Amino acid sequence: MAFFLDEIDECLWDRLKVTDKKIVLYGMGDGAEKIRAALDEKDIPLGDIMASDEFVRGHSFMGIRVKTLAEIEELYGDDFIILVCFGTQIPEVMEKIAFISRKHELYAPNVPVTGEGLFDLDYAREHRDELMKVYGLLADAQSKRVFENVIRYKLSGKLDYLTEVETPSDEKFNLLNIGTEEIYADLGAYDGDTVIEFLNETSMQFAKIYAMEPDSKNYRKMKRRLYMLGSAIFEAYNCGAWDEDETVVFNLRSGRSSTAVPSKNMTLNPARFREIKMLKLDTLLRGQPVTYLKMDVEGAEEKALLGAKQTIADFSPKLNIALYHRNEDMFKIPLLVNSMQKKYRLYMRHHPYFPDWDTNLYAL
């Protein structure tokens, strides 16, 4: 059967492999380090590093002096390719990136937030059957457009694919038909920002909220921000969502690629690792219902779903699940949800963000 993936014969890494232009990283930090590692692995030489003018102070990053765009233009004319190495949902910054892309060849390489490897053409072809199955499960034309464009973005690094299909973030509430009697479980509640978004949408009309946040600083901030909600209607837990009830450790120095493993499997160095309590949502709820379940848990979405298996089977809550942390999320998460509850209708949306960090699955 014909599938859009079959017409794609090149990805960004192929383009970079053969170009004679200088490769210039735009941005510093973990994203730049991961993209440089990918370039090194594929024997693609790095030419230079740039940053926005306000962040250039004569310093170096990864052994290269960071330059302004004007310096890069003076050095190389138009004979360079810019690779965006950071994420943003700030409209002004997104517009600045778009403006630069109209002047110069620019891409935003897709590297996973968590996990190894790249979503390149070989990877996509390896998982063609799963991708095609997900495409067939999607419930409306916009979901299919989002799915196709996000995959095309992942392979090409071209941000236009994302802007072509983006919709406002608050669209999810209409799509999910969020009402005033919801029992809301927020897995990965951060500092309470998504709880506050929910409260604003429902005008403070709801039945109950459960919130899980593993980071102790974020948890305390959330508790302070939401002090007005009594414990009878707001239960907050300083723990992460998982598929087992156990303690895990997180590597504090691995940035966006932080990984969790059972604490019994390693000797802890307190300077590098922190123990985190993890719970299944099914354990936390003890058979109590949920009508709306959101998961944005830094690459643990599969485990969080498995830990909510009974809740989903018993109550079929409306789902809002992040799809952008791992390479496999675009096919593995929708297929898992479909296997857990066949009656769900699956939707996919991308909300304004460079790169694809606000691409979500909605199920109802």
Helix ranges, 80-238 (H): 91-103, 121-126, 128-137, 141-156, 160-163, 171-175, 193-202, 216-225
Query: How far apart (Å, rounded) are the C-alpha atoms in residues 350 and 361?
Result: 9
Residues, the chain: 364
Query: Band of the pLDDT at 254, cuts 50, 70, 90?
Result: very low
Task: Evaluate whether residue 336 is within a structural domain.
Answer: no
Query: Band of the pLDDT at 135, cuts 50, 70, 90?
Result: very high
Q: What is the mean pLDDT of residues 59-77?
A: 97
More confident residue, 77 or 269: 77
Say whether pLDDT at 242 is over 80.
yes
**Tally of structural domains, the chain:** 2
Best CA proximity match to 86, nearest among 34, 46, 155, 43: 34
Q: What is the mean pLDDT of residues 96-123?
A: 97
Say whether pLDDT at 291 is over 60.
yes
Q: Tell me, what's the pLDDT at 256?
A: 37
Same domain for 139 and 256? no
- The domain in which residue 294 lies consists of 171-322
Type of residue at 349: R
| CATH classification at residue 224 | 3.40.50.150
Same domain for 129 and 278? no
Same domain for 108 and 228? no
Query: Band of the pLDDT at 249, cuts 50, 70, 90?
Result: confident
Predicted confidence (pLDDT) per residue in 14-30, tens digit: 999 999 999 999 999 99
Residues 6+ apart with CB under 8 A from 275: 247, 248, 249, 263, 268
Domain boundary among the residues 141, 163, 185 is at 163
Best CA proximity match to 329, nearest among 303, 308, 351: 303
On average, the pLDDT of the chain sits at 94
Domain boundary among the residues 135, 163, 191 is at 163
Same domain for 9 and 158? yes
Say whether pLDDT at 123 is over 50.
yes
Task: Evaluate whether residue 345 is within a structural domain.
Answer: no
Task: Evaluate whether residue 346 is within a structural domain.
Answer: no
Same domain for 207 and 307? yes
| CATH classification at residue 114 | 3.40.50.20
Same domain for 189 and 52? no
Task: Evaluate whether residue 268 is within a structural domain.
Answer: yes
Q: Tell me, what's the pLDDT at 255?
A: 41
Task: Evaluate whether residue 340 is within a structural domain.
Answer: no
Same domain for 150 and 235? no
Q: Tell me, what's the pLDDT at 264?
A: 53
Predicted confidence (pLDDT) per residue in 319-352, tens digit: 999 999 999 999 999 999 999 999 999 999 999 9
Q: What is the mean pLDDT of residues 114-141?
A: 97
Same domain for 137 and 231? no
Q: Tell me, what's the pLDDT at 260?
A: 62
Of the listed ranges 3-7, 247-251, 360-364, the one predicted with least confidence: 247-251
Query: How far apart (Å, rounded) are the C-alpha atoms in residues 54 and 200?
Result: 35
Task: Evaluate whether residue 224 is within a structural domain.
Answer: yes
Task: Evaluate whether residue 354 is within a structural domain.
Answer: no
Residues 6+ apart with CB under 8 A from 314: 287, 289
Predicted confidence (pLDDT) per residue in 1-58, tens digit: 789 999 999 999 999 999 999 999 999 999 999 999 999 999 999 999 999 999 999 9
Same domain for 208 and 294? yes
Q: Tell me, what's the pLDDT at 258?
A: 47
Q: Tell me, what's the pLDDT at 259?
A: 52
Q: What is the mean pLDDT of residues 230-250?
A: 94
Task: Evaluate whether residue 334 is within a structural domain.
Answer: no
Same domain for 193 and 237? yes
Same domain for 50 and 71? yes
Best CA proximity match to 243, nearest among 159, 303, 155, 195: 303
Same domain for 159 and 281? no
Domain boundary among the residues 114, 131, 163 is at 163
Predicted confidence (pLDDT) per residue in 292-310, tens digit: 999 999 999 999 999 999 9
The pTM is what? 0.94
